[in-house]
A and B are shown apart, each in its own frame.
Chain A
Amino acid sequence: METSKAAKGAQGSGAGLGNTVREFARFIIGELKPKGKMMTPFNVITGIIIAVGIVLIAIRFYKGLGSVTNLSQDYPWGIWIGFDVITGVAFAGGAYVLTFVVHILKFEKYEPIVRATVLNGFLAYVFYAGALLLDLGRPWNVVNPIIGNSFGLSSVLFLVAWHFLLYMICEFLEFSPAVAEWLHWKKARKIVQGLTTGAVIFGITLSTLHQSGLGALFLLAPSKIHPLWYSGNIPVLFFVSSIFAGLSMVIIESTFTHKVFHDRMDAKHRASHDEILLGLAKGCVGALFAYLFLKAIDLVHGHHWDLLATPMGYWYLFEVFGFVVLPIILFVKALKMRSVKLVQFTAFLTAIGIIINRLNFSVIAFKWYAPVRYYPSWAEIWVTLAVISMELWVFRWVVNRMNVFSEYREEKEELPKKAEVLKWKTTAM
């Protein structure tokens, strides 16, 4: 009797487990399907970009880097490194800054945007740092520094590689409560929620080191980077600039998401939007000021005043005045006027400045003396756009399914199914 009961019980639970797995699979398959209208202008344009991009990537792997890029013996790093990886990671800096502000300093005001920022940061690492694989000559060997058949401990790049990997795990942990909510895994949610503070602390430490580490990479090129840019402080400059790079990216990104995902946000989020952006602008001003002072110290210590009156010197002044000094003035003005529009515009300006700055180190002020200069091929730009498009697709997929812009409520079983928001405007690119 007893044994048969036990057997029945086992059978029952076995069937239950089978059902759960089947249900889970059905849920995942259902969620994988696109929601809403397919043929929007945004989808068509990015779809074409991605499709052609994949063809270009295939050619690159079939024929070698030279077939699609303008890389040369003089310029081993082009925009796939200088823009995708180095600039992309700077823009992803918003995640560690905001988690510091919200989880460590406990400014609850910014809580509504933390998840979106962390998600963006995580995806930025996956896609933009992932774009590194396209640029590596033998990408299958990328595991070598991790599995340790030879640790290049004296290499800054070794440090950066490890930190990328570990930081991606941290960011995933920080975002994982949203994944658990989506899957209705209440217990798992509790566990990962408990890990958040630890992941945040570890993540900030890793970010400090690899944001500055990306700058430290260029310390090894003192004879190749223009003296106005080269200094022993490059790591500090990269770290400080990643703060306002990240924050302005958060401003830009929430400008778009606020419009596009309006329906996915709860009332509280929508109401506090303007206040949040103004607050972020204050953070930007602080970091920009610190950066400007560092730049000034470098200029004074560098003793290269004479070089300011050369074409590269004008370019340097253009970068510093147009994209550091001017943003400071505009942000301060915007804060005085409480103008969200001006904050958003200035954030754009700051972001362009970061792109220029990072490209200066990797491409423009790098070997400024070379007779044949590097400029990206159309294919390099196209693949970059394809990577960005893919990231946007995944971001949208996640936002439309998980609680990214709304607060989690334990009692609530499911979010009310609202009209799906897929009307990406073409401007939302």
Chain B
Amino acid sequence: MSLNRRDFLKIAGAAGACLAGGKAGKANAAAAVGGGKEFYGMLIDTTKCIGCRACEEACNQKNKLAEPEVSFSSESVFEKKREPTPEAYTVVNKFANEKEPDKPVFVRKQCYHCNQPACASACLVKALEKTKDGPVIYNKDRCMGCRYCMIACPFDIPKYEYNTPFPYVKKCQFCFDRVKNGEQPACAEACPEGATLFGKKRDLVDIARQRVYQNPDKYVHYIYGEHEVGGTGWLYLSSVPFEKIGFRTDLGTTPYPEHTSGFLYGVPLVFVLWPSLLIGLNYLTNGKNGKEDNHGDK
């Protein structure tokens, strides 16, 4: 390929305009998401999940995690409720089904990839970051291990490696390397029942609504994750109330970063007001003790 000078300038100009446009877009991107780009998400239909744990196995292999103590084909793991661990980013739990006792409900748990993640707003070094594609990823080289992300996450997803001198935070990264290249995450690819469906979040919300609309008796009329903590990238459908299958339904719809934004907006105010008021007070009280110039120097 050969470029003459004229073409080069054209391209450079266009690229510059794009960059500038991108920047301008960012300013009001909170709602429109990264200059019009839409987040990817997942739709987990718990009515379709059969508890085969193929997603767990695929996740384990994709992320090169340690071999589990109990094999992926064993059902003994369902005896107690599990949480994700540093060695298992996604776990399937089994819940009793009151509607149909012989059909237990299986629910995956992993990072929900919030639209406005608490963990990323907590992180003081941007080790946790919301990408434009949707995944909330972890830049391990920046992390200092303060674990504030773990305090902040409403779903208790980030897990810590407590038993190594060089620990990291561990959680589902939404296979962001695959998503970036247009591939679906390993777990979605492995799911034999289509219980884990990958796509643009907007499309997934439509699909979820359609399923509820077409099967009003089968589903609880609620899409978990559509509005929770400002919306999450991963959505859930269920046939039983969500609080019965391990979901917190008391989290509200306020995006978590907004809980601290009020305080942070106050910081510049204090920085302007306090010194000026204190300097004023200092002049005012000068000479209070019968001396004109008082710098604390006696």
Give chain A's interface residues, CB within 8 Å of chain B: 61-67, 69, 71-74, 76-77, 100, 102-106, 108, 111, 135-139, 141-142, 144-145, 149-152, 154-159, 161, 193-194, 196-197, 200-202, 204-205, 208-209, 212-213, 216-224, 232, 235, 407-408
B25 cross-chain contacts in A, Cβ below 8 A: none
Q: Is the Cβ of B144 less than 8 Å from the Cβ of A142? A: yes
Q: Which residue of the partner chain A has the closest CB to B86? A: A73
Q: Is the Cβ of B274 less than 8 Å from the Cβ of A220? A: no
Chain A proximity mask over B205-248: 1 for CB below 8 Å, otherwise 0: 00000000000000000000000000000000000000000001
A156 cross-chain contacts in B, Cβ below 8 A: 122, 260, 263-264
Bound Cα distance from A102 to B148, whole angstroms: 37
Cβ of A84 to closest chain B Cβ, rounded Å: 14
Bound Cα distance from A152 to B270, whole angstroms: 20
Cβ of B194 to closest chain A Cβ, rounded Å: 31
Mostly helix, strand, loop or mixed at chain B's interface? loop
Q: Is the Cβ of B264 less than 8 Å from the Cβ of A154? A: yes
Cβ of A200 to closest chain B Cβ, rounded Å: 8
A138 cross-chain contacts in B, Cβ below 8 A: 143-145, 166-167
B295 cross-chain contacts in A, Cβ below 8 A: 193-194, 196-197
Q: Is the Cβ of A221 less than 8 Å from the Cβ of B144? A: no
Bound Cα distance from A214 to B287, whole angstroms: 36
Q: Which of B120, B148, B162 contacts A157 (CB 8 A)?
A: B148
Q: Which of A103, A150, A223 contacts B142 (CB 8 A)?
A: A150
B156 contacts chain A at the CB level, 8 A cutoff = yes
Cβ of A230 to closest chain B Cβ, rounded Å: 10
Q: Is the Cβ of B142 less than 8 Å from the Cβ of A204? A: no
Bound Cα distance from A196 to B296, whole angstroms: 8
Q: Which residue of the partner chain A has the closest CB to B229? A: A223
Q: Which residue of the partner chain A has the closest CB to B256? A: A220
Additional pairs, 12, CB under 8 Å, beyond known A73-B85, A232-B262: A65-B160, A100-B278, A106-B288, A137-B144, A141-B143, A152-B123, A196-B296, A209-B267, A220-B118, A220-B121, A223-B251, A224-B154
Cβ of B124 to closest chain A Cβ, rounded Å: 4
Chain A proximity mask over B128-148: 1 for CB below 8 Å, otherwise 0: 000000000001001111111
Q: Is the Cβ of B148 less than 8 Å from the Cβ of A141? A: no
Q: Is the Cβ of B260 less than 8 Å from the Cβ of A220? A: yes
Q: Is the Cβ of A65 less than 8 Å from the Cβ of B123? A: no
Q: Is the Cβ of B125 less than 8 Å from the Cβ of A145? A: yes
Cβ of A179 to closest chain B Cβ, rounded Å: 16
Q: Is the Cβ of B124 less than 8 Å from the Cβ of A65? A: no
B285 cross-chain contacts in A, Cβ below 8 A: 104-106
Q: Is the Cβ of B124 less than 8 Å from the Cβ of A137? A: no
Q: Which of B163, B250, B289 contacts A67 (CB 8 A)?
A: B163
Chain A proximity mask over B254-265: 1 for CB below 8 Å, otherwise 0: 001101111110
B189 contacts chain A at the CB level, 8 A cutoff = no
Q: Is the Cβ of B167 less than 8 Å from the Cβ of A205? A: no
Cβ of A101 to closest chain B Cβ, rounded Å: 11
Q: Which residue of the partner chain B has the closest CB to A216? A: B263
Q: Is the Cβ of A221 less than 8 Å from the Cβ of B151? A: yes
Bound Cα distance from A136 to B168, whole angstroms: 11
Q: Which of B161, B257, B274 has the most CB of A within 10 A?
A: B274
Q: Is the Cβ of A66 less than 8 Å from the Cβ of B148? A: no
B267 cross-chain contacts in A, Cβ below 8 A: 159, 209
Q: Assuming the A-B contacts A64-B161, A205-B278, are A219 and B263 also in contact, with contact meaning beta carbons closer than 8 angstroms in the complex?
A: yes
Q: Which residue of the partner chain A has the closest CB to B119? A: A220
A152 cross-chain contacts in B, Cβ below 8 A: 123-126
Bound Cα distance from A421 to B264, whole angstroms: 47
Bound Cα distance from A221 to B264, whole angstroms: 16
**7 closest A-B pairs by CB:** A137-B145, A66-B162, A76-B147, A141-B144, A158-B124, A76-B150, A220-B152
Q: Assuming the A-B contacts A155-B122, A217-B151, are A407 and B298 also in contact, with contact meaning beta carbons closer than 8 angstroms in the complex?
A: yes
A208 cross-chain contacts in B, Cβ below 8 A: 270, 274
B279 contacts chain A at the CB level, 8 A cutoff = yes
Q: Is the Cβ of B121 less than 8 Å from the Cβ of A137? A: no
B282 cross-chain contacts in A, Cβ below 8 A: 103-104, 197, 201
Q: Which residue of the partner chain A has the closest CB to B271? A: A205
Bound Cα distance from A138 to B166, whole angstroms: 7
Cβ of A324 to closest chain B Cβ, rounded Å: 23
Q: Is the Cβ of A145 less than 8 Å from the Cβ of B124? A: yes
A71 cross-chain contacts in B, Cβ below 8 A: 160, 162
Q: Is the Cβ of B278 less than 8 Å from the Cβ of A73? A: no
Q: Is the Cβ of A224 less than 8 Å from the Cβ of B126? A: no
B69 contacts chain A at the CB level, 8 A cutoff = no
B297 contacts chain A at the CB level, 8 A cutoff = yes
Bound Cα distance from A202 to B282, whole angstroms: 13
Q: Which of B118, B125, B165 has the most CB of A within 10 A?
A: B125
Q: Assuming the A-B contacts A102-B296, A106-B285, A138-B166, are A220 and B124 also in contact, with contact meaning beta carbons closer than 8 angstroms in the complex?
A: no
A213 cross-chain contacts in B, Cβ below 8 A: 263
Q: Is the Cβ of A64 less than 8 Å from the Cβ of B263? A: no
Cβ of B26 to closest chain A Cβ, rounded Å: 14
Q: Which residue of the partner chain A has the closest CB to B167? A: A137
Q: Which residue of the partner chain B has the closest CB to A366? A: B151
Q: Is the Cβ of A73 less than 8 Å from the Cβ of B150? A: yes
Q: Which of B154, B248, B252, B274 contacts A204 (CB 8 A)?
A: B274
B281 contacts chain A at the CB level, 8 A cutoff = yes
Q: Which of B152, B270, B294 contacts A209 (CB 8 A)?
A: B270
B156 cross-chain contacts in A, Cβ below 8 A: 73-74
Q: Which of A155, A158, A223 contacts B154 (CB 8 A)?
A: A223
B53 contacts chain A at the CB level, 8 A cutoff = no
Q: Is the Cβ of A139 less than 8 Å from the Cβ of B162? A: no
Bound Cα distance from A182 to B160, whole angstroms: 47
Bound Cα distance from A160 to B282, whole angstroms: 26
